Amino acid sequence: MLSAKSLFQEILDNDESFRLFCSIAASGEAQGGWENGRIAALVPPAERDLAPRIARHGADEDKHGRIFRALLRKRGLEPVPVPEETDYTMLLERHGIGLAHEKLKGDTPLSEEDIVVYLAHSRVTEQRASEQMELLCRYFADHPDVGRAVKMISHDEDSHLAYCHEELLRLAAAGHGRTIQRALRVCALAEIRIHRDVSLAVMARMGRILGWPRAKSALLAAGIRAVYAYERFAGWHRMVSLTMPDRRDALGGPAAPAPEFV
């Protein structure tokens, strides 16, 4: 029977598919760490109190990248180059979602609107990350190799999502509500399309590595497209709603270390 658990188990059990999975994840987390670090350095004076939280967000992402690389080392594996069509963070940036890297590479302070765009982008992508890690925790929290890692990363992703909700609500109360809703909608609709394309590309490569029969690959591709159809019709709304989280000031302290992985 084809299920999410059996699919992930198959990927985890094979060195080459596990190598690709961890390499893609590590690359995306490292990119997120760099982006947040640069945004923290360029925060405008009016939002300087936000800088430590953005820096904490970046430190968490860097930690996650190290965890995925440590999982590879534990199995005696080296990272592989990330295929362009599977590079989620790069494709988002290329499609104008979030802050342009050219802006982040400079020294000019960001504007308040830039901070709104950053937080809207993070709110959408952290929704995806939180859901994906929740799924992995559901099936692999007790896995001897990846269980501790997925639980730690899942906790962090939930904190990131809570932080985005809280800060966007604060900015909405300060008069940025219309800009926030517009940015969230644009980002969500682009994200679900890019997530579909990346998922199709990743599954195609996994299928070649694992020797999946054509029927299995076709069924998985159909499932990915069905999820996109649902998200395009209605599912994207979950990515743009804002509610005050139970976990307040979720990024108010230093990043928790992960010495057992790094």
Residue 30 is part of a domain; what is its CATH number? Answer: 1.20.1260.10
Q: Please give the tally of structural domains in the chain.
A: 1
Question: Residue 74, Cβ neighbours under 10 Å: how many?
Answer: 12
Distance, in Å, from the CA atom of 217 to the CA atom of 205, rounded to the nearest integer, reads: 10
Distance, in Å, from the CA atom of 23 to the CA atom of 7, rounded to the nearest integer, reads: 18
Nearest Cα neighbor of 164 from 31, 28, 36 is 36
Residue 246, domain member (yes or no): no
**Tokens standing for residue 114:** 């830039």
Distance, in Å, from the CA atom of 12 to the CA atom of 72, rounded to the nearest integer, reads: 11
Residue 230, domain member (yes or no): yes
Residue 248, domain member (yes or no): no
Is the distance from CB of 123 to CB of 239 less than 8 angstroms? yes
The two most distant CA atoms of the chain are separated, in Å, by 57
What is the model's pLDDT at position 1? 58
What is the model's pLDDT at position 33? 96
What is the model's pLDDT at position 184? 97
Residue 249, domain member (yes or no): no
Q: What are phi and psi of 78, to 5 degrees?
A: -105, 150
Please report, as a single letter, which amino acid is at residue 9. Q
What is the model's pLDDT at position 84? 96
What 3-state DSSP class applies to 184?
helix
Domain that holds residue 216: 4-239
What is the model's pLDDT at position 261? 60
Residue 253, domain member (yes or no): no
What is the model's pLDDT at position 215? 95
**Tokens standing for residue 261:** 């992985």
Q: What are phi and psi of 255, to 5 degrees?
A: -65, 140
Distance, in Å, from the CA atom of 175 to the CA atom of 113, rounded to the nearest integer, reads: 11
Please report, as a single letter, which amino acid is at residue 209. I
Residue 247, domain member (yes or no): no
**Tokens standing for residue 164:** 């985005």
Residue 232, domain member (yes or no): yes
Question: What does each of the 262 residues of the chain score in pLDDT, given as a tens digit?
Answer: 578 899 999 999 999 999 999 999 999 999 999 999 999 999 999 999 999 999 999 999 999 999 999 999 999 999 999 999 999 999 999 999 999 999 999 999 999 999 999 999 999 999 999 999 999 999 999 998 899 999 999 999 999 999 999 999 999 999 999 999 999 999 999 999 999 999 999 999 999 999 999 999 999 999 999 999 999 999 999 999 999 999 899 998 776 676 666 5
Residue 254, domain member (yes or no): no
Is the distance from CB of 109 to CB of 45 less than 8 angstroms? yes
